[in-house]
Chains A and B, each alone.
Chain A
Amino acid sequence: MATTVGAAIRRFLGGGAPASPAARPQPLPRWRAARIAVTRYGIALAAVAAALGTALFLQGNRAERLEFPIFLFEIALVVWYLGLGPAILAVVLSSLAFNYFFTEPLYTFYVNRADLAYYIVFIVFAVLLTWFSAVRRRFERDLLQSRDELRKEVSVRARQAGLLELTHDSIFVRDLDDRITYWNRGAQELYGFAPEEAIGKLGHELLQTEFPRPREQIRAELLRGGRWEGELRKRRSDGTRVFVSSRWSLRRDEQGRPMEILETGNDISDRKAREEEIRRLNLDLEHRSGELQASNKELEAFAYSISHDLRAPLRHMVGYTELLQRHAGASLDEKSRRYMATIVDSTKRMGSLIDDLLSFSRIARTEARETTVSMQQLVKEVRAEIEPDTTGREIDWRVGELPDLYGDRSMLRLALVNLISNAVKFTRKRQHAEIEIGCLPKQPEGVTLFVKDNGVGFDMRYANKLFGVFQRLHRAEAFEGTGIGLATVQRIIHRHGGKVWAEALVDAGATFFIEVPNRR
């Protein structure tokens, strides 16, 4: 009860010993401090007056010799609640009052011999009381202060320990014999062992750790550098494997001797699995690209062999047939000569088939060399190239404004040769052939060119067969051809990232479109 009253007084006065360290650092404004000091000394004064009054009252009522304890009690109260300064004031004033009112001769400040000892004892008591109180107060204050500091430290530590518990990372501590001494919640979540199952066990045995290097080496590195990092494979309580990115820190005592090992770890199983997946996919890709390369090489060797070896026998067939014709020509009848001419024709056709197939396969095999190509110029060149096929024909050429395209010049040229010579070929039966080459209005996705003729056209029902290799929509005796031309066109335009299509009506002409996307 006394302490709460004291605390209330202390709070009210704000002086004396501070109630707690927390209150101490706030400096009071000067005027307030002065007012509090005046109040404190005033109360001390009042206490002395009260003690004096009480003592005089009691003396008047024949209660002799009570002034001594009353004054001491008053001093004790003042020193306890008001601090050292007011206490000294109280001691001095009390001594004077004691001397004046209670030692012979009364009402003087003289002390006779008989009462001198009594008076000195009073002063000694008063001073000792003040001194002891002051010292006690100081002790108490120091004690309170260290208690508060301790409390604070404990709360900080507890919070830190709580944080360790809170983290998702697994954290555990091992002593130098590798026995687990601490095991946080993260560790429990990751490995599945409760703290009571883990603590006291050998870490690497409990988790069946697989080390990337011998454990002794890792330990030596830890002892040398104080740290180690690496990826470890461990086992959970349910037997499943887990990849952990693990960091070890060595804790030493004040003398620098190793004490314990803190091990933190994150689960990197997912990452490892992804890495493994990527590695597997890469291997697969490498394997496939190897296969592709091999088959490409094979294809190239095949094409080379065709161009060398397949053409030679054809040449011989034509050559020897011609020689036979020359040798026996005179003795042969009309029919035999026609047979021989057919042999020569067929062989030549075989030759051009092989040539077309080779140039078709070359589109896929050769690398595209892309530049800006003037289609206007290219059309001019192509028309000049196929001019020999148009002699004696009446063809009305209408060539519109053509843009520049970004692509492989020789490939685009081949595509145009095929489209334009097709137009020339399939208008052959027209008295007045019309061939129009132009460009559709510019679209955001690309440039569309077209080649339009008024030739025999085709049935749109077969449009899907138009661009297939060896696909023909006309009989060989009507229009010659190998059936590779439009397939070549399509392959070239596809290599440029574009598309081809056609619109036609039987006997009313055909229009072929090529669309090449804008690039660069």
Chain B
Amino acid sequence: MADTLGRILLVEDDPKDVELTLTALEDYNLTNEVVVARDGEEALDYLYSRGSFKMRTNDNPAVLLLDLKLPKVDGLEVLQTIKADAKLKMIPVVVLTSSREEKDMISSYQLGVNAYVVKPVDFHEFVNAIKELGVFWAVINEPPPGSVRRKPA
């Protein structure tokens, strides 16, 4: 795990959602570049290269897909920490959540989120949304300096 090249950091506590997300990304061969953190604390450990991620390379992920309802440290707290840190604030963060709550949306945008996506119930829509997100942020979008680069083909 420590030497995985992670261009996408998926922060998601539900294993089923992880599986469905990874399935959606499979088609674009992005699965291998996804690092999964199962709660907010693990996400922060990864970003700060501490705990079980002590040995990882220092580059930042190209995008962070963040669920809001997480054990220990919740998504909004993770977002706040990232956007308050000079070294991390450039990482694009996409909130990916079940909730359609306006309150969450407003808080997220106030904290400086880059995109806010409500996971559709319909599986096809869900797959399309994840694919588009993955392709856009990890492939099309030019990540900020200091992020993991795409391996030369």
Contacts and interface: CB of A to CB of B under 8 A. Distances in A.
A322 B103 CA distance: 32
Interface stretch (A176-184, A235-243, A305-313): A305-313
Interface in A358-391: 358, 362, 366
Interface of A is mostly: helix
A348 B101 contact: no
Contacts of A351: 121
B119 A307 contact: no
A417 B16 CA distance: 35
A157 interface: no
A315 B130 CA distance: 14
A318 B123 contact: yes
A315 B99 contact: no
A319 B100 contact: no
Interface residues of A, number: 23
A314 interface: yes
A429 interface: no
Contacts of B123: 315, 318-319, 321-323, 344
A314 B14 CA distance: 13
A355 B101 CA distance: 11
The listed residue with most B CB atoms (<10 A of its CB), out of A315, A321, A355, A366, is A315
Interface string B126-146: 100000000000000000000
A351 B123 CA distance: 12
B101 A311 contact: no
A312 B12 CA distance: 12
Interface residues of B, number: 21
B151 to A, nearest CB: 29
Nearest to B118: A311
A315 B120 CA distance: 7
A309 B123 CA distance: 17
A348 B14 contact: no
A215 interface: no
A314 to B, nearest CB: 5
Given A312-B14, A319-B16, A347 B98 contact: no
Interface string B6-41: 000000001011001001000000000000000000
A57 interface: no
Contacts of A358: 100
Given A323-B23, A351-B121, A308 B126 contact: no
A309 B98 contact: yes
B69 interface: yes
A302 interface: no
B97 interface: yes
Contacts of A304: 99, 101, 103
B152 to A, nearest CB: 33
A316 B20 contact: yes
Interface in B72-104: 97-103
A312 B118 CA distance: 11
A487 to B, nearest CB: 19
Interface in A320-376: 320-323, 344, 347-348, 351, 355, 358, 362, 366
B122 A348 contact: yes
A315 B119 CA distance: 8
Contacts of B69: 308-309
Contacts of B16: 316, 319-320
Given A308-B69, A311-B121, A348-B122, A319 B20 contact: yes
Contacts of B23: 323
Nearest to B16: A316
A307 B98 CA distance: 7
A239 B118 CA distance: 73
Contacts of A318: 121-123, 126
A362 B122 CA distance: 23
A423 to B, nearest CB: 26
Contact of A348 (B17, B97, B121): B121
Given A311-B99, A314-B121, A318-B126, 18 more contacts: A304-B101, A304-B103, A307-B98, A307-B100, A308-B69, A311-B98, A311-B119, A311-B121, A312-B17, A316-B20, A318-B121, A318-B122, A319-B126, A322-B123, A323-B23, A348-B121, A355-B100, A366-B102
